Structure 1
């Protein structure tokens, strides 16, 4: 098998670690702006997150293509088979980067979930404030025929009375 496939995969794996590290930093920034309710900061971190996610997607696609070119499936099992054939000079570094990549993915998922919960809680608070400002009470909210939440008080009419 051509040595350049091993080197290419090793480089892509290391780049993946760097990309996930950048994504983690952006998610931490996102956490800070969510806590501060900084709309402009949130817009910027969302753009940054989108850009880094595109780079991560390309990195994953290239790694999968490298595995496929080497004759292995683009999966965990394919990586394990491929890594067993790595030259000794690259094997240790690639395995260390692979483990780091898996740990970073786990960390990114946890941080993203935390940010999602903060955003969800903020949305609930805003929805409750809007309902109060519009004079709607929680007890007046029912489901309409389409299964969506509706305002029972606002649906009252002579025909429904």
Structure 2
């Protein structure tokens, strides 16, 4: 089978870089919105992130399909095999774009983890505040049969009686 044309692969890779860069910018905006606790802005960003992720998924599928149709597996060994079939100039172009794609993907993953930590921390703080408002002692909170949290302070006092 003939390898997919480099111009198609590079065009899809460049498009993937664009989508990831957009996602990176959205994650930065989400970080700021989380700090400012701007619910409206967060809701808007979620929609934009969903659209961008969908476009990125379609881009990945198209790129993978190009490789698969040429009998090349869309994984590290397959990409190395594809690169070996290219001349020096083409291989340099392919490697440069692919490295940039990987770098932007790593940045997006780091920013996503950062935002996830903030969301988890805020959720935990809100849960603690709600427990205080309800007058629940955290030590008395256990999981009930349905997997939800329940307040079992009454059982503790019954055990003492």
RMSD across aligned positions (CA)? 2.5
Segment of structure 1 superposing worse, 144-153 or 100-109: 144-153
Cα pair 1:5 1:70 within 8 Å, conserved:
no
Count of residue pairs brought into register by the alignment: 161
- Tell me the equivalent position of 2:41: 41
Structure 1 unaligned runs (5+)? none
TM-score by length of structure 2 reads 0.88
Task: Please give the secondary structure, in 1, of the residue aligned with 2:150.
Answer: strand
- Tell me the equivalent position of 1:75: 75
Shift in alpha-carbon separation, 1:3–1:143, aligned structure 2, 3 A: closer
Shift in alpha-carbon separation, 1:131–1:6, aligned structure 2, 3 A: same
Shift in alpha-carbon separation, 1:80–1:29, aligned structure 2, 3 A: same
Cα deviation for residue 152 of structure 1 reads 1.0
- Tell me the equivalent position of 1:24: 24
Cα deviation for residue 2 of structure 1 reads 6.0
Task: Please give the secondary structure, in 1, of the residue aligned with 2:71.
Answer: coil
How far, CA to CA, are the matches of 2:143 and 2:112 in structure 1? 31
How far, CA to CA, are the matches of 1:54 and 1:138 in structure 2? 40
Structure 2 unaligned runs (5+)? none
